[in-house]
Chain A
Amino acid sequence: MDETDRYIRALLQQQGISIDENQSELFRAFVNTEANINSVKNIRLLQQNMTKDWKIIARRAEINALQLAFPNGIAGKPYQTKFDFKQYGLEDITSYGLSGFENTGLAYDANSKTISGTPKTSGDIAMLFSYNFEGEDENSPLNEKKVTIIINPDPKSLWKDIPSDTNDIYAKADNVAETASLLDFTLLAASKRGRSHANKGSFRDDDYAYAELQNGWGIVAISDGAGSAKFSRKGSLLACNAVVDYFTTHFSLENVALLDEAITIYQTDTSIRAKLLDIAGAHLSAAAKKAYATINDFALDANASVSDFHATLAFVLVKKFANGYAFLSFSVGDCPMALVNKSFEWVKPLNKLDVGEYGGGTRFITMEDIFTKENFEERFNFEFTTDLPYLVLMTDGIYDPKFEVEANLAKTEKWKLFFEDLEGNNSEGINALSKDADNQSNLSDWMDFWSPGNHDDRTLIVLS
């Protein structure tokens, strides 16, 4: 049976007409007329064309709906991406062009199918993808599709440095830095407003304080005001000053005699540790409660809520004894404190951080319930070292970018890297531990280090 026969037979069958056996001669003659042979040929051709036309239209719509998602770029940063036809399912493209790169800083190289260059500005780069695909006539006009590449601004370029209001009732300097001697030590401290605050002209929430006390004791305190509390900058200041004031007044010869005696005994008999912590704990908790009470009273006077002054608090008392150095500490919140051996043979984190499952969640000295929680005594610590180690206190603005997780605070290699970084092994080559011409430390400059996503206030105190 030839094609014409098959076609007409199928056509009739579709209408429910069958050819009886006795009609077969008649049907054969019908099929073989020139008119019918030509008709079938024409019909087949029309059908083929129609099919082809539909395929082209459908494919064109498909390509039009296709998301050509080129990766986003950053203004001023080198950009390169391959226009991979396979990846986008465009393997049937026969000829094409990609235009619209004028004045964008980008260009397209057809040989390597690569878009590359350095975008000049942020915004959307609108390009035109003109193309033909398999099945289309060679001469048919090119189809057109709009394609965009999103260029983000460079985050570094977006940060503004707006000074905070110096006339505010709780105004605070945006940056402070100092070197001082404290007992036998050199104290190096800097506290710098984070970019997130500078960007909005808001205040530095961090604070610190230190003092030499009676009887050879010294104290260093650090505090980080909560970003979510409106007067936390004042809270952190009150917290630090309150504990310093407390010990300045209360560490009299009489009050401290028992503690000093216990520490002297500890040097030859460490079994006294629990007893010693009891004695020390009384001082530490009284000072912490003083900090709470001070802020609470202040809030009442200011007709505000104590939670408006939310701030963490960590402090260390230090004294040189005949055989070494004693350190007593207290902490609520997430400011790490550690003793670091100067040859990096050991490190002793002084506190466990209060951190929640999610970023930013912590505890504050302004939360009265911390004093009644069963873990309150875990906030106290005592360490005794024969050599003078580094004593380091920092807020999370330093800890997050430099140590990232709490486990790293116990690793000597991390501290070694941290001190190498401080001493100049950083992209700016700043030695934070050295002094400039005015005998000021470079710590404040070092604190400008760049770390994506870490733009909180930065405070660091190093005793050496």
Chain B
Amino acid sequence: MRRLPVYFLLDTSGSMYGEPIQALNNALSGMINTLRSDAQALDSLWISIITFDREVKEVVPLTELVQFRLPEITCPQSGPTNTGAALDFVMNKVRQDVIKGSDTQKGDWKPLLFLFTDGKPSDIQLYHEKTAEVRAFDFGAVVGCAAGHLANDAMLKQLTDNVVHLDSADSQTLKTFFKWVSETIEQGNKSQGTGEVSKLPPPPSEITVVI
């Protein structure tokens, strides 16, 4: 069976401490519930959740939605945002996890990558290197989400052309964002021409698309 592997890279650096991380947990839980009631997603979706602050943590390894359990995402009260290290980690995982098609093996759908951050990378050198690696990889879609006024849109633009900006990381905005994420995911298992870039569904008005 074709799997649709989806990776979430979530910023859990110090600035997310308190209300934002609470809002993130709620929004994630809402998204998982939405996906659970989607017949197609239940059949093919695999999700991994990776958090990054000073450390990169694989909170949930790639797990099929049917067996997925969302743990509480926590964050330290302070510390750097090692986005580069997170990208390095996820690329290794993607290369390990995702099954490529061959004459004798059914390939997965192209993996999707969502990066959520409210700051800018602390490990800039590594970040530059890794964004190039992500761009060179054949993802179905890479979406960067910058939340709050401290998030650096231009930095995310290096990673992907699909960058959205949330004015704040409050509960309602995050919920809307992850609703859109689930729509994007639901669109991820369609046939398309090799080498063609997939189009994302139009985001809701609360989300600013960074051009």
B92 interfacial contact with A, CB 8 Å: no
Q: Is the CB of B110 within 8 A of A359?
A: yes
- What B residues does A359 contact at CB under 8 A? 2, 101, 106-110, 189
Please name the 7 residue pairs, one residue from A and one from B, whose CB atoms are nearest each other, closest first.
A227-B190, A158-B39, A453-B1, A359-B2, A228-B192, A360-B191, A359-B109
- What B residues does A334 contact at CB under 8 A? 191
In the assembled complex, the CB of A76 is this many whole angstroms from the nearest CB of chain B, namely 14
Which one of B36, B40, B68, B194 contacts A196 once the chains associate, using CB atoms below 8 Å?
B40
- What B residues does A226 contact at CB under 8 A? 190-193
**A binding-site residues for B, Cβ under 8 Å:** 67, 69, 71-72, 74, 122, 150, 152-153, 155-156, 158-159, 195-196, 199, 224, 226-229, 307, 310, 334, 354-364, 367, 396, 400, 404-407, 452-456
Q: Is the CB of B110 within 8 A of A361?
A: yes
Residues of chain B at interface, number, CB under 8 A? 40
Q: Is the CB of A307 within 8 A of B1?
A: no
Known A228-B199, A405-B106; contact A356-B101, beta-carbon cutoff 8 A:
yes
- What A residues does B42 contact at CB under 8 A? 152-153, 155, 158
Q: Is the CB of A363 within 8 A of B194?
A: yes
Q: Is the CB of A453 within 8 A of B44?
A: yes
Q: Is the CB of B101 within 8 A of A357?
A: yes
- What A residues does B78 contact at CB under 8 A? none
Known A355-B101, A361-B110; contact A69-B69, beta-carbon cutoff 8 A:
yes
Q: Mask for B173-195, Cβ within 8 A of A = 1, else 0?
A: 00000000000000001111110
Q: Is the CB of A72 within 8 A of B1?
A: no
Closest to B42 in A: A155
In the assembled complex, the CB of A266 is this many whole angstroms from the nearest CB of chain B, namely 29
B96 interfacial contact with A, CB 8 Å: no
In the assembled complex, the CB of A400 is this many whole angstroms from the nearest CB of chain B, namely 7
B138 interfacial contact with A, CB 8 Å: yes
- What B residues does A364 contact at CB under 8 A? 193
- What B residues does A150 contact at CB under 8 A? 69
A-B pairs with CB below 8 Å: how many?
A: 125
Q: Is the CB of A358 within 8 A of B108?
A: yes
In the assembled complex, the CB of A334 is this many whole angstroms from the nearest CB of chain B, namely 8
- What B residues does A405 contact at CB under 8 A? 101-106
In the assembled complex, the CB of A19 is this many whole angstroms from the nearest CB of chain B, namely 48
Q: Is the CB of B109 within 8 A of A152?
A: no
Known A69-B69, A72-B69, A453-B44; contact A360-B189, beta-carbon cutoff 8 A:
yes
- What A residues does B101 contact at CB under 8 A? 355-359, 405
- What A residues does B104 contact at CB under 8 A? 405, 407
Cα of A60 to Cα of B42 in the assembled complex, Å? 36
Q: Is the CB of B36 within 8 A of A153?
A: yes
Which one of B2, B71, B191, B192 contacts A224 once the chains associate, using CB atoms below 8 Å?
B191
Q: Is the CB of A67 within 8 A of B71?
A: yes
Tell me the residues in window 93-118 of chain B with beta carbons closer than 8 Å to chain A beta carbons: 98, 100-110
In the assembled complex, the CB of A336 is this many whole angstroms from the nearest CB of chain B, namely 13
Cα of A190 to Cα of B64 in the assembled complex, Å? 33
B19 interfacial contact with A, CB 8 Å: no
- What A residues does B191 contact at CB under 8 A? 224, 226-228, 334, 360-362, 396, 456
- What B residues does A199 contact at CB under 8 A? 39-40
Instruction: Contacts A159-B39, A227-B189, A452-B43 known; list 8 others, CB within 8 Å.
Output: A153-B36, A158-B38, A196-B40, A229-B192, A407-B104, A452-B1, A455-B39, A456-B191
In the assembled complex, the CB of B7 is this many whole angstroms from the nearest CB of chain A, namely 15
Cα of A454 to Cα of B190 in the assembled complex, Å? 12
- What B residues does A357 contact at CB under 8 A? 100-101, 107, 138
- What B residues does A361 contact at CB under 8 A? 110, 191-194
Closest to A356 in B: B194
B205 interfacial contact with A, CB 8 Å: no
In the assembled complex, the CB of A153 is this many whole angstroms from the nearest CB of chain B, namely 6
- What B residues does A362 contact at CB under 8 A? 191-194
- What B residues does A354 contact at CB under 8 A? 194
